Amino acid sequence: MSPRLWAAGAFVVLLVALAGFAAVTVPWHRATAPRADQLAALGQLPADQVARSRAFHAELRPASYGGMVLGLLVALALGLTPLGARLIELAGRPFGDHWLARAVLGGLAVALVAEVLSLPLAAWRHTVVARYGLSTQTWAAWSVDLIKSFGVGVVLGAIVLAGFFTVTHFAPRWWWAIGAAGAAGLVVLLSFVLPVVVEPIFNRFTPMPGGPLRAELLALAERDGVPVKDVLVADASRRTRAVNAYVSGLGPTRRIVVYDTMLTEATPGEVVSVAAHELGHAKDQDVLTGTVLGALGAAIAVVALYLLGSWQWLLRLAGVDSIAEPRAIGLLLAVTTVAGLVAGPAQSFVSRRVEARADTHALTLTGDAVTFEAMQRRLGTVNLSDPDPPSWEHALFASHPSTVQRMAAARAWARGDR
């Protein structure tokens, strides 16, 4: 049987595995709190704060949606015309057009073009966030973080590009199988590595000082049966006034992380409520589930790219002979960008269901719906979240239930509607 038939079979098997795993791990049937409860919650929020949050998001939308459109247009221009292939040739020319130079330097050149073109919109977004007082960064600090982010992307991108095109170069018939396994393995590895290697590049983490709050958080995790290595405080205030907390890492790297802004803006009970929500993710193995789904998705993507390589009309548009050659990096960017936009709403839908389950976990673990609702008001107010965004926008892009949905869910839980 030819490699293409094997690849087609593997594609089907991986899709079935992804669908089956998602069917049994994702909480598909989470009920949304009654709309009447949501409207009642909305009516109890200060009208000036609601108006300010909505004005904030109205000002952000042009830059946010403009960035999405620009990113798509740049990807299509680099991938569905010979422009991307020519750019990669130019990047590799000083090194004798070596395939590895084309792969790494050409791929980074394509990424740099996309980053530079999107930079004005990113600056626009920062201007809005700073004007509304959510960002605490100067332009210099913002630029440093931007450079750090690009540096991390360069390192990870170079590793991925070098690994992928080394496989396609030395295994031209079976690269899809090796590449799929490698992509899945990389997703799993990054789940362990990112919290302890990449997160400290952007924030400084210090152990939370001993005291009642630290003791309560550790006791909460123990009572929940979720072992954590430590409770850390992130210096988020150097970047933002937003409040948050999360549980990071898997197994031996798992820790509760609390923003320092949370300690100054929220009550201890609200911090515990947020931590209980995050422990729900750990308790239900949401990070592990996301890792497995991501690994399967990455493997499927690699096999799909191999199968797309038989679409000659697509290769002709890009001006390349094979989807497995470095000159096709622009085409790969175009395909993955379109796929990401198409898959985005489904990913958001799944994320909202997972977050709603973690909310229920927090309510059950703490037994305190009043503090949970107060915490949601705090998060929404300080973080300038639109408490009740347009339904179409929420469905397409929201990763969490809205503020009023979460407040209403707490009220429904308190009534016994569980």
Residue spans of the domains in the chain: they are 3-415
Q: Which of 359, 368, 386, 388 is catalytic?
A: 359
Q: What angle do CA 411, 417, 418 make, to 5 degrees?
A: 105
417 has catalytic annotation:
no
Q: Which of 278, 286, 373, 388 is catalytic?
A: 278
Q: Does the annotation flag 277 for ligand binding?
A: yes
Strands (E) located in 51-92: none
pTM of the model as a whole:
0.91
HSE value, Cβ hemisphere, 13 Å, CA-based, for 283: 22
359 has catalytic annotation:
yes
Q: What is the pLDDT along the chain (418 residues), one digit of tens a residue?
A: 688 999 999 999 999 999 999 999 999 887 778 888 999 999 999 999 999 999 999 999 999 999 999 999 999 999 999 999 999 999 999 999 999 999 999 999 999 999 999 999 999 999 999 999 999 999 999 999 999 999 999 999 999 999 999 999 999 999 999 999 999 999 999 888 887 788 888 889 999 999 999 999 999 999 999 888 889 999 999 999 999 988 877 676 788 999 999 999 999 999 999 999 999 998 999 988 999 999 999 999 999 999 999 899 999 999 999 999 999 999 999 999 999 999 999 999 999 999 999 999 999 999 999 999 999 999 999 999 999 999 999 999 999 999 999 999 999 999 887 6
> How many Å apart are CA 187 and CA 146, to the nearest integer?
23
Q: Does the annotation flag 281 for ligand binding?
A: yes
Q: Are 98 and 146 in contact (CB under 8 A)?
A: no
3-state SS, residue 418: coil
